Amino acid sequence: MNKTLQQLFSLKGKTALVTGGAGYLGTAMSETFAELGANLVIASRDRAKCEKKCEELVCQSGGSIKAIGLELDLLKKESAAELFTKIHKHFPAIDILVNNAWAGNKNSWESITDKDWEYDVDISLNSVFRITKAAFEDLKTTRGVILNVGSLYSHLAPDYRMYDGKEFANPPSYGAAKAGVIQFTKYLASFLSPHGIRVNAVSPGAFPHPPTQKHTAFMERLSAKNPLNRIGQPDDIKGAVALLCSDAGCYITGQDVHVDGGWGVW
């Protein structure tokens, strides 16, 4: 029997782990899963923030989903394994892993140091390996889905003419690490396919945080870089997440979906 679109997009009975799921784009991703009926684990270094977001989502669902907030420090190698020990106290296994968490500093080529580079690569790329490795047994059991978050700058270089000094500069470490995430996505899509695990990426850009949006001149330069002539807003990411993490995308794997207003076509 053919499934309806509503059935294909439904995530009822599934459990999704979203790292950084209470952040700017992470919140939109967590909302997507809750709206599609999935249970949630939201994890980051700020456990209280994760717990608050979970309470909000459970309330908005009318209590139809379960959501828990947990602590996760991606810079600590043991933290990923510890996270799954905690998860299994609430859920037998996860069905969906979203590697979204990120934290970094602004740097220009002139200002970046070895320490900055190593930090950014560790948080943006090495952490994706650690969490995915820790989630592997769960995802084998559930024949699950992995969604990695790349970036516009994982496949394009920043236009130096847009940046004046360090304030809004995108560091070279960020794009290099995110490009690694895209290749890792393709590797996993190949080598995890025998276990029925689909692996894709979504590359957003540009989605500046609210404080940055107050700088009108910079926002105008960003908006003018893509055919839609605007920056991205959190809701703009939800459709791609829903497609790639549900049965609506069951024949899609190894792909990097660009949610960038068409930036890459110019």
Residue pLDDT tens, the chain, 266 long: 799 999 999 999 999 999 999 999 999 999 999 999 999 999 999 999 999 999 999 999 999 999 999 999 999 999 999 999 999 999 999 999 999 998 878 888 999 999 999 999 999 999 999 999 999 999 999 999 999 999 999 999 999 888 876 678 889 999 999 999 999 999 999 999 999 999 999 999 999 999 999 999 999 999 999 999 999 999 999 999 999 999 999 999 999 999 999 998 98
How many CB atoms are closer than 10 A to CB 240? Answer: 21
Distances (CA, A) of 185 to 77, 117, 232, 254: 20, 21, 23, 6
Task: Confirm if 54 and 40 have CB atoms less than 8 A apart.
Answer: yes
Task: Give me the residue spans of the domains in the chain.
Answer: 5-265
CATH number of 5-265: 3.40.50.720
The SS3 of residue 89 is coil
d(CA 151, CA 181): 9
Catalytic residues: 174
What are the DSSP E strand ranges found in the chain?
15-19, 39-44, 67-71, 96-99, 145-149, 198-204, 256-259
pTM of the predicted protein model? 0.97
pLDDT of residue 163: 84
pLDDT of residue 164: 75
